[in-house]
Amino acid sequence: MFKNFELLQIGDPMLKLRAKEVDIEALQEGKQDALLKIMRMVANKNNYFELTAPQMGVLLRVVALKIDLFNESYPQDIKDNEVTLMINPKIKHIEGVSSSAEYELCTSCKGRTMLVERPDRIFLEYFTPEAIKVQIFVHGYSAHIVQHAIDHLDGKDFLVLENEEEEIIHRHR
Ligand SMILES: [Zn+2]
């Protein structure tokens, strides 16, 4: 049923809006269970490495990542990875951390790769579907993917980048 689920694509005005925080009390009461279940299914059935609620037309700060957050290198095969659902994810940037430019794919921008410069190490905080607060350090390529997903929640348009693939966006903190 959720196979071939089409995500909103870059250029859609919805993707330029800032998503709202999920009410944690409502989360505890199970009021977001349907959305979370659908996001997990869509990410799994379509093998999306990243999926955010705004890409499905829901303006809430929910991210589903089908990557191993503790793997620092580029994810080769994500088929067997579990989906991690993150509610209200927040990043704290760490002083003095190096940045690098990595090629990024986007499920809202089929067939394009973008070279984006971002910090290589972040401190990430989010709530699980059970409303448990998680705080972890994320490194390497996974840190880049997390930041990319949070850009979706903030309505940032990576593809100001209508230019060339070699274009580098400098992310300012
Ligand atoms: Zn994306």
173 has a pLDDT exceeding 80: no
Cα(50) to ligand 1 centroid in Å equals 7
pLDDT, position 77 = 83
Cα(4) to ligand 1 centroid in Å equals 17
**Strand 114-119 to 168-170 pairing:** parallel
Q: Which CATH superfamily is domain 13-170 in?
A: Peptide deformylase (3.90.45.10)
pLDDT, position 158 = 64
pLDDT, position 159 = 58
Cα(10) to ligand 1 centroid in Å equals 9
pLDDT tens figures, 93-150: 899 999 999 989 899 988 888 888 999 999 999 999 999 999 999 999 999 999 999 9
pLDDT, position 38 = 97
28-52 burial, b if ≥16 CB within 10 A, otherwise e?
Answer: eeeebeebbebbbbbbbebebbbbb
pLDDT, position 110 = 83
Say how far apart CA 132 and CA 10 lie, in whole Å: 32
Length of the chain, in residues: 173
Could you tell me where the beta strands, DSSP code E, fall in the chain?
50-52, 62-65, 84-93, 99-104, 114-119, 121-127, 133-139, 168-170
Say how far apart CA 20 and CA 102 lie, in whole Å: 28
Cα(32) to ligand 1 centroid in Å equals 22
pLDDT, position 160 = 55
pLDDT tens figures, 46-78: 999 999 999 999 999 999 999 999 887 877 788
pLDDT, position 1 = 62
pLDDT, position 120 = 96
